[in-house]
Amino acid sequence: MPDPQYLTDTGPGTGRRRPARSWLHTDAPKLSLNGAWRFRLLPGAPGTLGGDQVLRRSGALPHDADGRPEEPFAMAAAGYDDSGWDELTLPCHWVMVGDGKYGSPIYTNVQLPFPVDPPNVPDENPTGDHRRSFTLPEDWADSSRYGAVVLRFDGVESRFAVWVNGEFVGTGTGSRLASEFDVTELVHPGENVIAVRVHQWSASSYVEDQDQWWLPGIFRDVTLEARPVGGLEDVWLRADYDHQTGSGVITPQLSCGDEAFPVRLSVPGLGVDVLWNSREDVAPVHIEQVEPWSAERPHLYDATVAGDAETVSLRIGFRAVRIVGDQFQVDGATVTFHGMNRHEIRADAGRVFDEEFAREDLALMKRHNVNAIRTSHYPPHPRLLDLADEFGFWVILENDLETHWAIEEIETDRLNPTSDPTWHDALVDRMRRTVERDKNHPSIVMWSLGNESGTGANLAAMAAWTRRRDPSRPIHYEGDRTTAYTDVYSRMYPSVPEVASIGSDDTTPLHGATVTESARLRTRPFILCEYAHAMGNGPGALDRYEALVDAHPRLHGGFVWEWRDHGLLTRSADGTPFYGYGGDFGETVHDGEFVVDGMVLSDSTPSPGLAEFAAVAAPLRFGFEPDDRSLRVANHRHDADTSDLRVAWRLEHAGRQVLEGRPDVAPVPAGEAARVNLPPLPIADVGETWLTVEAALAEDARWAPAGHVVARQQFDLTPAPEPAAAPVPPRAGARNTDVTGSFDLGPAHFEGADLVRLAGRPVSGPRLELWRAPASNDALASSPSSDAHDPAASWRGADWTPTGPDASYEDQWHAAHLDLLSSRLLEASRDGSSGGGMFHVERRYSVPDSAASVRVVEDWALDGDRLALDLSMIASPEWQIVWPRFGVRFDLPAGVDHASWFGTGPGPSYPDSRHGVQVGRFEAGIDDLFVDYAVPQENGHRSDLRSLTLGSADADGGVTPWLRLDTAPDEAGRRPGFTLSRWTAQQITAAAHSFELPGPTASYLYLDAAQNGLGSRSCGPDVWPTELLRPGSRSLHLSFKEL
């Protein structure tokens, strides 16, 4: 039986553990143990001092006739009666099944959900006992054919012990790492019994604090494998490439006995057929010409390594990874990472792998110009890496390690496991298992030691082992701030000015480094291993980081945090399904919405932020010179030319196409550009002229159909307007200041000073609105405010706390009562002369306990069949904060649920996120205009509105138009944006989840003269100053027409 203290052992595991090896596709016989298991959940760990007391108090263990509870490991016996247990289908996390019967998920980011007392864990430690029988084939017992039977667990959280036929096998650690045990002597032909005890908390929990859900259970495959006598225990085919000659070399490493020989290497696609008769014959194989593998051209060769007893199948890709000076290169060309941090998560199953889901996940990445993955913060299911090889991604493969709690821990007598000698063997073992399992994948171009674990001797030891084992791949670890034992300089969430400093050759000290160390860091390739925190509506400023990467060769791009929201599918009290985040499962210690911070929502809907990323990361960029109509096509790919793409253009007048073409663009090599002349392009006599250029797939790809747009860019060809003459105010007749009654002004009906109907339907407004439902990046303050501190200087060490002017914008806005605007009527007068009509209204809007105000002047004027409205909004000087928005709101009937518009679209845009949209004509229903973030917040703003037609959807799918609204630019050429929503900003603010939004009773049209930017301040820099919205004066020029 195991030592009861195995739960707190800081070693790598015990018992019949086998050495780590590759996850191979082999013809050796296998028996899957996935499927139905018997299961029970205990509230404590039997055999531990405190756990036994928890079990005694709970009465969870059965008792005999004399009242004695069962022995701690009685469940391991082959004949144990488990008929009263439940049934569980593996792989799974037990907290994800049973509707809460087996506990609930827990989310924390940095903090641990139990007392910090390493390596000890609480007495209340949910423990899942699993049992099943399996039938071992008769021939597996033939020792002349099979030398071993291996039991493999690909993923168990967080620690487990296993028995076969009542005999103790061993204990396993490393939740996202494979554990193999030799059970040869414990199994027999026919029926056998396996028992596995899994603990939610263990010493391992202290090194797996990885900003994700704590999800206990056997969540990856369980397999038995018969190892053939004379088999191939492990195979590593290193496939290197010489980009200067086009030649390749396969360097084989075989782990096998002498009896395995002769062994044949076969690569049919290269004509390779090599027979090694003995170990001494195994040698590199040189090939004169090969097609290299890259993330853009992922060419794989099918290979087999075969002996008489076993054949291993691999897919090999030739490439050479090198660091040359401060350049990270593959095949002689510098790599730019347009990457994502990717956790493994499915809303309905946690980290249980589903291949079709994973395949679509990677295809979605490719469709949005993602070319790289950091496997945060552990190795994924091994099949995902097969898919990464196949689809083409640069992969930073990260070890299963994070001790974030220890970085934040202030008690100096506690050692971070990365510095504690008692953890040395376990941490090196984790790195060994990471490398050995996945070393055959060409997609892996860098190993990462782990995440946010401080720095210490154990990390250096992990790096040293890795470098000895695989010198062909560089080593990454962001916590090594001086690159003492790593090969690249890596940072999380630096500001734009700091990244500019890193890319330049100045002498400014970098974060956590001396001047001398900083000089050395500037000789290394630099990677943003996390940036642009994609929590809720955001991130902003992707284009600013991309511009720095273009400008400074040392900067190699980075990895957005993160790919996907981790919302878990659950139900409200009334049965409404929704995607839950921290706190939604009854946790008392949690980190709330910080787990829903992805570019893809929990239901796999791409966010507007992902559209922005796709545009910024587009591998082709265009330029246009109107004078000679020359179109420049620049290929920013790593190695692929443009032969797989077709360039097309279209010309639009006022958003309507008038001309199109497909220029004959010869394939442009990577890193080069070409020019082609377009035919004469007629410019509209009136209105705007836009040229749109696109590059789309010429043929179907693995990840998208032909016609999928890879890059798009627009050029405004509208001639600059002549200086406008100063407007002549209409000549007013005698003003009537008696507005106590009701009157009509064209399609508008007023009662007193208030609009009550428009185009025959009840409408109220315009009402000044400064409030927006705080976005996630408004709600948190992980960095100084760009309004209170110069971001170009603050990264060097601003003295700040998240209070006062550096508090989160949500806190500042609430403190200023921006959600509580009220108005006072200052003036109202109308003029009905000249056969038309004018109506003048002035109001003062203000907030409680403040002298700050905004004076809003409404000038209504009837002009034929159109009703014009000029709005002037003048802020008083008392305002001293950043505003969320600056605009007006109209309250419309609930039946107004459709919009078609000329402006930017089809998605939303904000001041620091505008590349993912284009100018054109679009339409959508009101629900499609709403982005259903896990936490309701500001969303759906469409910028630069020219015209908007509102209507109501018919039962047959048609739309009945109701009202047209046109806008004119203000004196600075700025146009308003619009939002059409079923809810007010205040209603959205009050809801923690979408299902908490009230039933719609109206539709709300917001017309914003300005919006604040988005930034990524929830875990990163604030909005850049030019995109912050400071109080001021703005105007809106609108006209309405009844349809």
Separation of alpha carbons 187 and 136, rounded Å: 8
Rounded to an integer, the average pLDDT of 474-496 is 97
Q: Is 671 left (phi over 0), alpha (psi -120 to 50) or beta?
A: left
Are 698 and 648 spatial neighbours (Cβ–Cβ below 8 Å)?
no
551, exposed or middle or buried, with CB in 10 Å at 0-12, 13-18, 19+?
A: exposed
For the four alpha carbons of 80, 83, 86 and 89, in that order, the dihedral sign comes to positive
List residues bridging with 762 in a β-sheet. Answer: 757
The pTM of the full predicted model, rounded to 2 decimals, is 0.97
Rounded to an integer, the average pLDDT of 789-799 is 79
DSSP label at residue 96: G
Angle in degrees, CA 405, 410, 416, rounded to 5: 50
Confidence band for 397, pLDDT divided at 50, 70 and 90: very high
- Best CA proximity match to 206, nearest among 448, 486, 427: 427
DSSP label at residue 357: H
Domain residue ranges in the chain: 4-228, 232-320, 323-613, 619-716
Residue 352, pLDDT > 80, answer yes
Rounded to an integer, the average pLDDT of 452-457 is 94
Confidence band for 377, pLDDT divided at 50, 70 and 90: very high
Percent with pLDDT over 70 in the chain: 97
Residue 832, pLDDT > 70, answer no
- Summarised one tens digit per residue, pLDDT across range 304-315 is 999 999 999 999
Residue 584, pLDDT > 50, answer yes
Buried b (16+ CB within 10 A) or exposed e, 896-934: bbbbbbbbbbbbbbbbbbbbbbbbbbbebebeebbbebb
* Three-state secondary-structure class, residue 498: helix
Are 223 and 30 spatial neighbours (Cβ–Cβ below 8 Å)?
yes
Structure tokens at 982: 């079923």
pLDDT at 412: 42
Instruction: Quote the mean pLDDT of the chain.
Output: 95
User: In which element (H, E) is residue 745 found?
Assistant: strand 742-745
Look at the chain and count its residues: 1043
- Summarised one tens digit per residue, pLDDT across range 706-761 is 999 999 999 999 998 876 544 444 544 556 666 678 999 999 999 999 999 999 99
Residue 182, pLDDT > 70, answer yes
- Summarised one tens digit per residue, pLDDT across range 923-962 is 999 999 999 999 999 999 999 999 999 999 998 889 999 9
Structure tokens at 883: 């505003």
Are 431 and 424 spatial neighbours (Cβ–Cβ below 8 Å)?
no
Instruction: Show which residues are catalytic.
Output: 452, 530
Separation of alpha carbons 273 and 265, rounded Å: 6
Pick among 3.30.930.10, 2.40.50.100, 2.60.40.10, 1.20.120.1780: CATH of 232-320: 2.60.40.10
Superfamily holding 619-716: Immunoglobulins (2.60.40.10)
- Best CA proximity match to 211, nearest among 366, 371, 345: 345
pLDDT at 726: 45
Separation of alpha carbons 863 and 755, rounded Å: 18
pLDDT at 794: 72
pLDDT at 476: 98
* Three-state secondary-structure class, residue 670: coil
Rounded to an integer, the average pLDDT of 314-340 is 98
Q: What is the 3-class SS of 362-402, one letter each residue?
A: HHHHHHCCCCEEECCCCCCCHHHHHHHHHHCCEEEEECCCE
Pick among 3.40.50.2300, 2.60.120.260, 1.10.10.10, 2.40.100.10: CATH of 4-228: 2.60.120.260
- Summarised one tens digit per residue, pLDDT across range 590-643 is 999 999 999 999 999 999 999 999 999 999 999 999 999 999 999 999 999 999
Confidence band for 67, pLDDT divided at 50, 70 and 90: confident
User: In which element (H, E) is residue 964 found?
Assistant: strand 959-968
* Three-state secondary-structure class, residue 295: coil
Buried b (16+ CB within 10 A) or exposed e, 990-1015: ebebbeeeeeeebbbbbbbbbbbbbb
DSSP label at residue 998: P
Separation of alpha carbons 369 and 374, rounded Å: 15
Examine residue 906 and say whether the peptide bond preceding it is cis (omega within 30 degrees of 0). Answer: yes
Confidence band for 415, pLDDT divided at 50, 70 and 90: confident
- Summarised one tens digit per residue, pLDDT across range 637-687 is 999 999 999 999 999 999 999 999 999 999 999 999 999 999 999 999 999
Q: What is the 3-class SS of 753-800, one letter each residue?
A: CEEEEECCEECEEEEEECCCCCCHHHHCCCCCCCCCCCHHHHCCCCCC
Rounded to an integer, the average pLDDT of 561-584 is 97
List residues bridging with 445 in a β-sheet. Answer: none
Are 189 and 149 spatial neighbours (Cβ–Cβ below 8 Å)?
no
- Summarised one tens digit per residue, pLDDT across range 513-567 is 999 999 999 999 999 999 999 999 999 999 999 999 999 999 999 999 999 999 9
Separation of alpha carbons 841 and 457, rounded Å: 72
Separation of alpha carbons 854 and 569, rounded Å: 44
Pick among 3.20.20.80, 3.40.50.1360, 3.90.1150.10, 3.40.710.10: CATH of 323-613: 3.20.20.80
pLDDT at 737: 67
| CATH topology match: 232-320 vs 619-716 | yes
596, exposed or middle or buried, with CB in 10 Å at 0-12, 13-18, 19+?
A: buried
- Best CA proximity match to 395, nearest among 459, 333, 441: 441
